[in-house]
């Protein structure tokens, strides 16, 4: 069974993802995630995965646990 090959976002896609992460919402709802995915040309799954990884990276840089539901920005 073939697994989906990881996709590395282009520089333009990363700019859109970073903008939305930093300026709009670190925790996008499903509608916002769908809009971001459409804007970047990535799938919703790829976009969600990017946000989860980026949130964990952000939490680590802030000295927070990588997974936490109680601390919201």
For residue range 7-66, list pLDDT tens digits in order.
789 999 999 999 999 999 899 999 999 999 999 999 999 999 999 999 999 999 888 876
The structural domains of the chain, ordered by start, are 11-58 (1.10.10.60)
Tokens of 35: 């809009």
What pTM value is reported for the model?
0.77
Closest by Cα among 4, 19, 2 to 49: 4
Place 3 in a pLDDT band, splitting at 50, 70 and 90: low
Sign of the dihedral defined by the CA atoms of residues 55, 57, 58, 64, in that order = positive
What would the DSSP string read from start to end of 21-39? IIII-SS--HHHHHHHHHH
Tokens of 42: 């990535």
Q: Which helix (H) or strand (E) holds 45?
A: helix 44-61
Give the Cα separation of 68 and 22 in Å (integer).
18
């Amino acid at each position: 069974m073939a697994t989906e090959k990881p996709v590395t976002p282009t520089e333009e896609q990363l700019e859109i993802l970073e903008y939305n992460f930093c300026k709009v919402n670190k925790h996008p709802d499903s509608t916002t995630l769908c809009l971001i995915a459409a804007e970047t040309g990535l799938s919703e799954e790829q976009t969600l995965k990017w946000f989860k990884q980026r949130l964990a990276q952000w939490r680590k840089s802030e000295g927070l646990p990588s997974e936490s539901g109680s601390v919201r920005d």
